Amino acid sequence: MNSINTRVLSPHSEGISEAARILADGGLVSFPTETVYGLFANATDDTAVARIYEAKGRPSFNPLIVHVPDVDAAKKYVEFNEDAERLAAAFWPGAITLVLPLKAEAGISKLVTAGLSTLAVRVPHGDAAQAVLRESGLPLSGPSANPSGRVSPTSAQHVISGLSGRIEAVVDGGTCAVGVESTIIGCVGEPTLLRAGGTPVEVIEDCLGRKLGVAGEAIVAPGQLASHYAPQGAVRLNATDKRDGETLLAFGDVAGADLNLSPSGDLVEAAANLFACLHQLDAMNAENIAVSPIPERGLGQAINDRLRRAAAPR
């Protein structure tokens, strides 16, 4: 692949207009959402979408989320049901993605859905994301803006270090507030948890008034690759001690911490810091990483999901 000059754009009107222009021309632009930085392209343009896969080095069977500015825009592309209406009203804009039946006439590239009859849609929060979506008027497909299998980016600097020379631009809108990707809910039939993420499962179940189903292997398979979000070093989870030669990524009031997701044991703070800490471990050349136990409640579920993938055999 030829290297291209990756520009850093401001999150103000000039930068946003330029981002929208690049996207309309079939280019790739990264900008922040409240969860992580995404790598975006016009979801109706096959060539532009193909370039996302190329830039990330992503396996082509892995479908992408389409981002739109509001629920009305989402309805151009997918069929809503009662559960989806309720979740969208409660959580959009926000860190939840709904998988719904794709409208045949929607014009979304088959590379986005990987040939599935469903489409994942999301209305992101965040000034830069909303501004680019509104200015471009395009449905934008966007995975996280990291090389495939590597740690997701929560700052423009993370995007540059992973994808510089492979994308046209990144809008520098500062650090992402949530820090882990959106929760994905399958809304075809019974609502089902497809990926834990920035909106806690308990809150979603309260909104629906019932428990979420759990996805079977076959549905989980796309995008849920075992090894993912991986720093360079080996990762040991649920570490209650720090062994010789280990770098400790702590949670809570723990002795010997090299980095701490949240010294006070706050899961929201830990989620926001997670990917930045994993990037930092790479910068420190940490070869053996120990991670403190993280409680499996609220955002802890999303954090543990990402950490298990980071620790998976490669």
- Contact set with Mg ion (CB under 5 A): 144
Q: How far is the CB of 306 from ligand TXA (least distance, A)?
A: 11
Site for ligand TXA in 265-294 (CB under 6 A): none
Q: How far is the CB of 224 from ligand TXA (least distance, A)?
A: 6
Asked if 247 interacts with ligand TXA (CB under 6 A), we say: no
48 makes contact, choosing from Mg ion, ligand TXA, none, with CB < 5 to 8 Å by partner type, with none
Residue 248 CA to residue 200 CA, distance in Å, equals: 26
Nearer to ligand TXA, 109 or 118 (CB): 118
Q: How far is the CB of 223 from Mg ion (least distance, A)?
A: 8
Site for ligand TXA in 17-46 (CB under 6 A): 33, 35-36, 38
Among the listed residues 11, 27, 93, 143, the single contact to ligand TXA using CB under 6 A: 143
Closest of 272, 269, 58 to residue 146, by C-alpha: 58
Nearer to ligand TXA, 109 or 113 (CB): 113
Q: How far is the CB of 42 from ligand TXA (least distance, A)?
A: 15
Residue 294 CA to residue 188 CA, distance in Å, equals: 32
Q: How many binding residues for ligand TXA (CB under 6 A)? A: 28
Nearer to ligand TXA, 15 or 126 (CB): 126
Residue-by-residue DSSP string for the chain: -----PEEE-SSHHHHHHHHHHHHTT--EEEE-SSSEEEEEETT-HHHHHHHHHHHT--TT---EEE-SSHHHHTTTB---HHHHHHHHHH-SSSEEEEEEBPGGG---HHHHTT-SEEEEE---SHHHHHHHHHH-S-EE--BSS-TTBPPPSSHHHHHHHHTTTSSEEE-----SS-SPPEEEE-SSS-EEEE--SS-HHHHHHHHTSPPEE--HHHHTTT--SS-SB-SSEEE-S-SS--TT-EEEE-SS-TT-SEES-TT--HHHHHHHHHHHHHHHHHTT-SEEEE----SSTTHHHHHHHHHHHHS--
**Site stretch for ligand TXA (CB under 6 A), options 11-19, 56-64, 79-87, 234-242:** 56-64
Output the CA torsion sign for 227, 311, 178, 200: positive
Site for ligand TXA in 165-224 (CB under 6 A): 181-182, 184, 194-195, 222-224
Nearer to ligand TXA, 45 or 181 (CB): 181
Nearer to Mg ion, 248 or 302 (CB): 302
Asked if 154 interacts with ligand TXA (CB under 6 A), we say: no
Nearer to Mg ion, 130 or 144 (CB): 144
194 makes contact, choosing from ligand TXA, Mg ion, none, with CB < 5 to 8 Å by partner type, with ligand TXA
Residue numbers of the site for ligand TXA (CB under 6 A)? 33, 35-36, 38, 62-65, 97, 99, 113, 116, 118-120, 122, 124, 142-144, 181-182, 184, 194-195, 222-224
